[in-house]
A and B are shown apart, each in its own frame.
Chain A
Amino acid sequence: MATKEKLRYERPVINKISAGVTDKFGMSTKMEVIKEIDNVKVTDLLKEYGSPVFVVSEKTIRNTVSEIKQAFTTRYPKVQLAWSYKTNYLNAICQIYHSEGSWAEVVSGFEYDKAIANGVAPNKIIFNGPDKSKKDLEKAINNGSYIHIDHFDELYDIISLSKTTKERPKVAIRVNMDTGIYPQWDRFGFNYENGEAWNALNRIMLSEKLDLIGLHTHIGTYILTPDAYGVAASKLSELAVRLDKKFNHKIKYIDMGGGFASKNTLKGAYLPGKDTCPTFDQYAEAITNAIINSEIDPQNMPTLFLETGRALIDDAGYIAGTVLANKRLANGRRSMIVDTGVNMLFTSFWYEHEIYPAQEVSTHTEDTTIYGPLCMNIDIIRSAINFPLLNKGDNYVLKRVGAYNMTQWMQFITLRPNIVLIDTEGKTHVIRESETNETMVALEKVPKHLK
């Protein structure tokens, strides 16, 4: 006798109907369901690689690189991308960007060595950041890498090293400035408005020991105003023109840094990030207009460098996971515990991350707080979301987690999971294995008297 097929169970729920103000933006209340990532079933990924699991789409990375290239190269003759290692420095990920022609942009000796080990030509490494040891600087100078000077102490270190190094240092300065946005990042580089940047450039030129090849800025992060980039590009162009006038010196490039917003939604934002995030075309229009319309000699237009990180990889990253439990809080509010904690989703401190069910759900939702699995009060993935009624053991997918989470994550209480890449043909590859207890204690030492 055939067994009766059972109905899909959804936990019972009752919601009071409140006649309130209608949503003037008309946003859909029906929640999308993500059953597949790049045609690979979420359930298969979880079965094979465990729960939770980070999933990175190579196809999305390559498509996004193609979009930014299209936006900039159609507006400006010489454009060069440099992959921001700190955004995601898993070797497999870096190799995808390098295979697309990106240089490496690094901010520490560790990242510098990683780029070299990834086979990046040393003269295609941009070395940024406030912490470069003398040893790091010496290595970068002798390798012919581009050093972006952050402060005067570093400048004098480089001048001093240049007396003994085989190669002349190739340098740029990082310039901070008022572009009309808040907060103004003035902790990195030399200030434009108070003349510090111009002073640094003069010292470099007069030292005659360094090759000044570029000008760099990085105005902030998650910048929603493309015009701010226009202001920054104008100010760097103006410095380039002054260098040409005073020293008859033409710089080779202008580096606009990173900071383009991704489609994630910032906490407190009224509208979703996917509706408010500027397009690459808008950033490109602001930056290239400013450089083209400047007084820079048209015969010697500098190469435009971009160190975009977040906006190039956020959309390519997912976390698939499992619901651990549902419970009701003291005030009657529903809460759901999932197996992704803030230790592996660092960006949840500033984003309202998109989370979707990975199996069919009804249209019923409940106002829910989503907690991670850590025994810590701050472990909150979403503090308030109208979420479908998932049961213990159901699966979910967190979207747009590609930037920073795989570099800023913390090993805390539990072990970090597998990271899986789905290649352009839909094949899956582990690009970082999940940790084990052995991995975690490998560097520990117990003094003899405590054994």
Chain B
Amino acid sequence: MKIKKNIAVSESGFLFDSNSGDSYSLNETGKEIVKLISANKSEKEIKDYFLENYDVDEAIFENNFNDFLIMLQNLRLTE
């Protein structure tokens, strides 16, 4: 999965889609995931990063991560 090239994300978690003109807000973990996907990290690399740096169970993260990816797809922010 890749984030579309026309998507811009600010440090504060503000995401702008220049194609549609829509803007979104991301929380800290959401912003991290978008940035990691943009940096071409694999799903496994992203999961490992979170398990190492955040206080979270593998199952909970995997569940949330999959749900978040579906949201990104539904909002047409990925290609």
Contacts and interface: CB of A to CB of B under 8 A. Distances in A.
A193 B60 CA distance: 64
Interface-centre pick from A10, A13, A362 (highest chain B CB count, 10 A):
A13
B40 interface: no
Interface string A334-370: 0000000000000000000000000000101000000
Contacts of B67: 11, 328
Interface residues of A, number: 21
Interface string B29-61: 110110000000000000000100111100011
A302 B57 CA distance: 66
Contacts of B70: 328
A413 to B, nearest CB: 25
A11 B29 contact: yes
A15 B74 CA distance: 12
Given A14-B30, A328-B67, A364 B55 contact: no
Contact of A14 (B50, B55, B64, B68): B68
A26 interface: no
Contact of B53 (A6, A11, A15, A332): A6
A197 interface: no
A117 interface: no
Interface string B6-41: 000000000100000011111111101100000000
Contacts of B61: 9
Interface string A359-403: 000101000000000000000000000000101100000000000
Contacts of B53: 4, 6-7
A13 B68 contact: yes
Given A9-B29, A14-B26, A15-B25, A391 B71 contact: no
A12 interface: yes
A326 B59 CA distance: 13
Say whether chain B's binding surface is mostly helix, strand, loop, or mixed.
Answer: helix
A37 B60 CA distance: 29
A17 interface: yes
A332 B74 contact: yes
A16 interface: yes
B28 A10 contact: yes
A290 B43 CA distance: 73
B25 A9 contact: no
A131 B29 CA distance: 59
Nearest to B54: A9
A13 B30 contact: yes
Nearest to B26: A14
A8 interface: yes
A185 B55 CA distance: 55
B72 interface: yes
A9 B22 CA distance: 27
B27 A391 contact: no
A6 B54 contact: yes
Given A6-B54, A9-B55, A332-B74, A16 B24 contact: yes
Contacts of A7: 53-55
Interface of B: 15, 22-30, 32-33, 50, 53-56, 60-61, 64-65, 67-68, 70-72, 74-75
16 contacts: A7-B53, A7-B54, A7-B55, A8-B54, A8-B55, A9-B61, A11-B60, A11-B64, A12-B64, A12-B68, A14-B75, A16-B75, A17-B23, A328-B67, A332-B71, A392-B60
Given A11-B67, A11-B68, A14-B71, 11 more contacts: A7-B53, A9-B29, A9-B50, A9-B60, A10-B27, A11-B29, A12-B29, A12-B64, A13-B27, A14-B68, A389-B27
10 closest A-B pairs by beta carbon, nearest first, are A9-B56, A12-B30, A364-B27, A6-B55, A9-B54, A11-B64, A12-B29, A12-B68, A17-B23, A7-B54
